[in-house]
Amino acid sequence: MKVMHRAHRGFSLIELIVGLVVMSIALTFLSTLFFSNPSRSVEPLLQIRAAQFGSALMDEILSKKFDELTPEGGVPACTACSALLGSDGESRDSYDDVDDYNDSCGARIPLTDALGNSPAHYNNYEMEVCVFYDDNYDGVDDGATGNTAKLITINIYLPPGSGLSAPLTFSAYKGNY
């Protein structure tokens, strides 16, 4: 009985070239997927630092009195609160009410901690803090004075070239009670 064997054939040159082209395209796609742009890999770290600082600053501000005329402990609440928002000649390390932080409203300033020092690892970060009366809770500064609530808005700006031009914004109300 005669058995017929097929001749073993290899790949032709054209099949090898097509296979290499397909493989190189797939590897290029996968490498860009797994190894992203190094400049973008630091962006989340910068955002995390900004978020941590913004949160800590908001906690610091909310721990202060509602107004300069509010007694220590907050009781009784001020009924004739001060109309002028901003520091009363205090330095950053001696701010005692929430509207003292309004001094940086409308201007970016370097980040400073509660003692007025520039914290490590925050080079080229900037902040802006705005405080205004918002008794109707609409989030709009209409220039009115009141005695119910102040809206505190913190903008933290990342260093130039970080890929994020918009600030990270934190907002909270401080009630007069």
By the 8 A CB rule, do 155 and 167 touch? yes
Give pairs for 77-81: CB < 8 Å, separation 24+.
77/147, 77/176, 77/177, 78/147, 78/176, 79/147, 80/147, 81/133, 81/145, 81/146, 81/147, 81/176
Alpha-carbon 108 to chain mean position: 14
pLDDT tens figures, 82-97: 888 888 888 888 898 9
Average pLDDT of the chain, as a whole number: 86
Q: What is the pLDDT of residues 39-77, one digit of tens each?
A: 556 778 888 999 999 999 999 999 999 988 888 777 788
Residue 169 tokens read as 């914004």
| pLDDT in the model for residue 35 | 72
Q: Residue 7's pLDDT band (boundaries 50, 70, 90)? A: low
Higher pLDDT, 75 or 16: 16
Residue 10 has pLDDT above 70, yes or no: yes
pTM of this structure = 0.74
